[in-house]
Amino acid sequence: MKKNEEDLDFNGCIRSTREMFLVPLDSEDPEIVTKTATHFLTNLRLLEADSKDPIVLHSFSTGGDWYGGMVIYDAIKYSSCKFIVISYGIAASMASLIPQAAYPRGKRVTMPNCDWMIHEGYTATQGTYRQVLSGAQWDQILRSRTYEMYTYPCLATGEFFKGKKISQVESHIKRKLESKEDWWMSSEDSIKYGFCDHIVGEKGLETVDEIVNNVSRILQL
């Protein structure tokens, strides 16, 4: 279906083709913040009200706020609609975690020149000694959640982890993050380790339009 200006609202949702944009079009920075999550929920509810057909999410982000990211992650994970997430340019920090919510019902797709960065992330805590200590303890819990969110998709789809146990996959990811702090990888490596399913340009996924116009087929790959 043809796109037009009236079909694209200011939040970045093309209703006719069921496309969403992770970062709002009026944002000056590709970071995930509270506004990002609010706009995402608004657009998602619009599309869910229209139908239960799959949604294509276009993502270009350097990461951002943990809680804003979790709003989006859970909204995708527990939506009545399946998602295909296409990552452009860079999928770093929270922007590498959000696509994992599409697994196992949907697909995670990356552009050939999209760089991926995985890390544990952090939260900043200020206040009394007890408040700082409590914040540090909560950080450990958030890190455990992060490992788990990455581990299951990587175990199921990563060629590198073929034949491994879930504890081995989690330990490998944990060692990488503890030793490197920021674990950078190419689009090819994101496929190898199971952070992504397909690269745009593969047979059957030659263009973004081909993905958008053939969502049902792409979900079967």
Give me the CATH number covering residue 32.
Answer: 3.90.226.10
Which is higher by pLDDT, 176 or 107?
Answer: 107
Judge whether 145 lies within some domain.
Answer: no
Which is higher by pLDDT, 136 or 103?
Answer: 103
Average pLDDT over residues 80-107: 97
pTM of the model: 0.90
Judge whether 155 lies within some domain.
Answer: no
Position 140 scores a pLDDT of 75
Nearest C-alpha neighbor of 61 from the set 32, 41, 86: 32
Judge whether 84 lies within some domain.
Answer: yes
Cα–Cα distance, 192 to 185 (Å, whole number): 10
Judge whether 114 lies within some domain.
Answer: yes
Sequence-separated (6 or more) residues with CB below 8 Å from residue 35: 24, 27
Q: What is the domain count for the chain?
A: 1
Q: 52: pLDDT confidence band, cut at 50, 70 and 90?
A: very high
Judge whether 142 lies within some domain.
Answer: no
Domain that holds residue 198: 5-120+182-219
Question: Average model confidence (pLDDT) for the chain?
Answer: 89
Q: Which of 22-26, 78-82, 127-131, 169-173 has the lowest mean pLDDT?
A: 127-131
Judge whether 202 lies within some domain.
Answer: yes
Sequence-separated (6 or more) residues with CB below 8 Å from residue 214: none
Cα–Cα distance, 4 to 129 (Å, whole number): 56
